[in-house]
Amino acid sequence: MHEGKTITKRKEKMEKSSYECVKKAYKDVSLQELRDRLADFAEVRGWKQYHSPRNLLLALVGEVGELSEIFQWRGEVARGLPNWSSDDKEHLEEELSDVLLYLIQLADVCGLDLGQAALAKIVKNARKYPVINPKSS
Q: Could you read off the pLDDT of 44-70 as tens digits, one per residue?
A: 999 999 999 999 999 999 999 999 999
Other C-beta atoms lying within 10 Å of the C-beta of residue 116? 10
Q: At what angle do helices 31-44 and 114-128 cross, to 10 degrees?
A: 140
Structure pTM?
A: 0.77
Taking the C-alpha atoms of residue 20 and residue 85, their distance in angstroms, rounded to an integer, is 16
Give residues with Cβ within 8 angstroms of 67, minimum separation 6.
92, 95, 96, 98, 99
Taking the C-alpha atoms of residue 18 and residue 135, their distance in angstroms, rounded to an integer, is 43
Q: Could you read off the pLDDT of 91-127 as tens digits, one per residue?
A: 999 999 999 999 999 999 999 999 999 999 999 999 9
